[in-house]
Structure 1
Amino acid sequence: MELRTWCAALCAGMMGLVGCGGDSGTNEDSGSPGAGSGGSQGQGGDTFGSGSGPFGQGGGSFGNGVGGGSANGGTGGSGANSAGCEHVDVVFALDNSSSMNEEKESMREVVFPAFAQALLDISGIQDFRAAVIDACPLPANFHTRGAAGECSFQSGQSWMESSSNELTGEFQCVADLYADDVECSGNNDDEQPASAVAAALEPPFSQEENAGFVRENALLVVVVITDEDEQPVPEQAPQAIHDRLVAVKGEAKNVVFLGIGGRTDCEGAYGSADEADNLQRLVDTFAGDGRGFFWDLCEGRLEDGLTNALTAIEEACEEFVPVVN
């Protein structure tokens, strides 16, 4: 199915999700989405259709507002969550094991472009920025180059901005991970994506290479994916990793965490996956606030996992209250 057709189907499906939601936590369903009647999807520009700006003009798929198009990806609307967050900071942490090639390709070619469109269709969200890191916290700097070379983000920063008219290409470049600077040994210490995100958002990296990424008025969204398990070195309990991520925003409800891994040992749509027990327990620490979701890699369909996360992002934006650290 062509990306444009698939994206339209995804956004239409998400309109249905606004009316009903499953339980939060380690099941595959999302928590209760925010109430409101959905507007029609906008006409996208560039990758997503004809229109002005990188994502074009149109209303939000969620909420009551109508999003306006602009070079910054839409100015949002006056929906129910307009008093909440208008900005989103997203970090993607991808396990760079050779067994992850199918998953990384799906993220680059299908999942991220549709996610980017749908994120800006949430009423009230004006923009987002996205950073990519591998699953090794040494070093924990955001990637600015891929395996083929420098990605030359239009932002001029170590992250991508939704205002870029080359956003999909930038993500495709950087998500083809460059790993020559990794200091992990490869003996399971390079499979700790959530720990890598925590390190990236803490000193010294938050004050140096990644400085300026986290905004006080933005919701933090963390997406981690591995076909093994979260294996922190030195060992840390899932609650400790949760607390490190929450400390970045000062409030648990200001963080949405999506973990993608194997619910059990399996041969799935993307090949084999080990049971991600630690990752599932980490998701559980966020689930009490309706901010944690686990998607079973064995099921495939990474796009469905991101759909579930989008309902959590909408609800989190409605409840968002900036905390000044």
Structure 2
Amino acid sequence: MELRAWCAALCAGMMGVVGCGGSSGENQGSGSSGASGTGSSSGTGSSSGTGSSSGTGSSSGGSGEGGGLLDPGSSGALGGTGGQGAGSAGCEHVDVVFALDNSSSMNEEKESMRDVVFPAFAQALLNIESIKDFRAAVLDACPSPANFHTRGNAGECSFQSGEVWMDSSSTALTSEFQCVADLYSDDMECSGNSDDEQPASAVAAALEAPFSEEANAGFLRDDALLVVVAITDEDEQPVPRQSPQEIHDRLVATKGEAKNVVFLGIGGQTECDGVYGSADEAQNMQRLVSTFAEDGRGFFWDLCAGRLEDGLTNALSTIEAACEEFVPPPR
């Protein structure tokens, strides 16, 4: 679907959360209440459906200023300054980490994420009523080192924030993301023998000491919802070996509360050829999503089922629900 039409549909209809089309089981869906897909639920904390969003309601939208949704190739400024904020229930801040498999087979997925998905995803976050702002950080799928990227293959990205992350207030947010998501990985210490395809583990390492205290210091905010987006066309393959539950526990420990973490895993539900080429069955990624789905905070999107924009559309409902139920830190 053309971006402008997709964005309009997205901001007008963020209702149900549905999982990957064609099967059911514990590894699909967010497990959150209010799902309205066409399939019936089955398995633990899961939902099945057609892979497209449904529902007749509309979002309340944001009340910020700005020029609306962004077309690729424009100046990079996103319209709007967030939701209503004062007096609103739920979280006001979101911290998003994108971990992208940087193998050559991922070129089409990375291009889509840079040029189509992120601009509309960023705008849609700010259209959630309570959200005032968000931060976004990017790294590859190797945890050695797990420092957030500040440059792409073309050179330094020079974020307006002056930090190692992007801020939603930037007037060049889209172009900043396009720069950094063209992943520079010459500093990567992984061998490339499957140990460089562990996006969720890389995010966990980035948010733990020593990276959380040194290279990435200051990124996580106590009063922000953490959203992790991990994408690979193979599978989560942590080295040394860790179970999906152990990775879940590491990510939750960075926030101290499971309800304050949303995890979006993107991979192949089965081995297949999809719109972006071939994908392996991402068994570990699906199991990891299921550990977050128990709290209504996990969503898996099948690379074989359709385009990334469809998955992000559905995942926004999970983020909205989590924001409404955000557990603020004790004062």
Q: Is the 8 A contact 2:268 2:282 kept in 1?
A: yes
1:93 aligns with 2:99: yes
1:45 aligns with 2:67: yes
1:6 aligns to what? 6
1:313 counterpart SS class: helix
The Cα offsets for residues 164-215 of structure 1, whole Å up to 9 and x where unpaired, read as 0100000000000001000000000000000000000000000001000000
1:128-277 to 2 correspondence within 5 Å? 128-277=134-283
Q: State the AA in 2 paired with 1:257.
A: F
Q: State the AA in 2 paired with 1:222.
A: V
Q: Is the 8 A contact 2:289 2:299 kept in 1?
A: yes
Displacement after TM superposition at 1:308 (Å): 1.7
CA distance in 2, matches of 1:154, 1:137: 26
Q: State the AA in 1 paired with 2:84.
A: G
Displacement after TM superposition at 1:321 (Å): 1.3
CA distance in 2, matches of 1:261, 1:269: 12
The Cα offsets for residues 2-35 of structure 1, whole Å up to 9 and x where unpaired, read as 5333322322242xx2xx4447963357733599
Displacement after TM superposition at 1:309 (Å): 1.4
1:31 aligns with 2:37: no
CA distance in 2, matches of 1:241, 1:171: 26
Name the one with the larger helix percent: 1
CA distance in 2, matches of 1:229, 1:21: 23
Size of the aligned set, in residue pairs, is 301
1:92 counterpart SS class: strand
1:109 counterpart SS class: helix
Q: Is the 8 A contact 2:90 2:325 kept in 1?
A: yes
Q: State the AA in 2 paired with 1:291.
A: R
Q: 1:295 to 1:2 in 2, by over 3 A?
A: closer
TM-score norm. by structure 1 comes to 0.86
CA distance in 2, matches of 1:262, 1:115: 21
2:254 counterpart SS class: helix
Q: Is the 8 A contact 2:78 2:123 kept in 1?
A: yes
The Cα offsets for residues 61-85 of structure 1, whole Å up to 9 and x where unpaired, read as xxxxxxxx4xxx2352568xx2321
| More divergent stretch after superposition (4-13 vs 279-288) | 4-13
1:283 counterpart SS class: helix
Q: State the AA in 2 paired with 1:48.
A: L
Q: 1:221 to 1:272 in 2, by over 3 A?
A: same
Tell me the C-alpha RMSD between the 2 structures. 2.5
Instruction: Flag structure 1 segments of 5+ consecutive residues without an equivalent.
Output: 57-68
2:78 aligns to what? 55
Q: State the AA in 1 paired with 2:292.
A: F
CA distance in 2, matches of 1:314, 1:270: 28
Q: Is the 8 A contact 1:120 1:127 kept in 2?
A: yes
Q: Is the 8 A contact 2:18 2:314 kept in 1?
A: no
2:94 counterpart SS class: strand
CA distance in 2, matches of 1:133, 1:33: 33
TM-score norm. by structure 2 comes to 0.85
Q: Is the 8 A contact 2:62 2:83 kept in 1?
A: no
Q: Percent identity?
A: 75
Q: State the AA in 1 paired with 2:82.
A: G
1:106 aligns to what? 112
Q: 1:22 to 1:10 in 2, by over 3 A?
A: closer
Q: Is the 8 A contact 2:100 2:140 kept in 1?
A: yes
2:309 counterpart SS class: helix
| More divergent stretch after superposition (224-233 vs 29-38) | 29-38
Displacement after TM superposition at 1:305 (Å): 1.1
1:65 aligns to what? none
